[in-house]
Amino acid sequence: MLYCADCQSLCAGGERCPFCGSGRLRPVRPGDPVLLCSASQEEEGPIAGALGDAGIPYLEKTEAAGGVTSIVLGRSRSAGVRVFVPYGERERGRGILRGIGFLKDDPPARTAGEEAEEKRTDEKSGGAPAGGKGRKAARIFSILLFLLAVAAVAILTDALIDRLRFFFHW
């Protein structure tokens, strides 16, 4: 794991920092401050409190929320706080954030059983027996219509030939 001394980001490798483009990458050390989380200013209090209680040193930086709004109104409400902890304490810090409900665990993956259940419901609604019967009846009806049409054409053709015969005195 490499550490960018300029923006305190971690990256897997490469010559330049993927976040700020700095070339000052070096292997991360346990004491390097790394980003633990970004929080709103309301959330920052409990996070700082929980980290302090756990004895994890942390560092806070107010996110630069540039733009006219923040100049006119002072710190805009969207301005967040970035909380940094030493690299060696990052996992513990994350555990603490989870503990206070700030970091949510990834939603649990759906079990295979649930997916199978869903599939079964699909099949049920798709191939309902009543629908099958209806479709069969419609098919028979369309075949009958077709036969009727063929018969009609045959009859008409006969009639036409009769008329032509009459007309040309065959």
Binding residues vs Zn ion (CB under 5 A): 4, 6-7, 9, 17, 19-20, 22
**Residue closer to Zn ion, measured from CB, 19 or 102:** 19
Q: How far is the CB of 44 from Zn ion (least distance, A)?
A: 23
Residue identified by tokens 């009459």 is 166
Q: How far is the CB of 35 from Zn ion (least distance, A)?
A: 11
Q: Is 65 helix (H, G, I), strand (E, B) or coil?
A: coil
**Residue closer to Zn ion, measured from CB, 23 or 113:** 23
Q: How far is the CB of 24 from Zn ion (least distance, A)?
A: 8
CA 116 to the chain's CA centroid:
22
Q: Is 40 helix (H, G, I), strand (E, B) or coil?
A: strand
Contacting residues for 72 by C-beta, under 8 A, at least 6 apart: none
**Residue closer to Zn ion, measured from CB, 17 or 34:** 17
- Neighbour order of strands in the sheet with 25-27: 10-11, 2-4, 25-27
**Residue closer to Zn ion, measured from CB, 86 or 96:** 86
Q: How far is the CB of 61 from Zn ion (least distance, A)?
A: 14
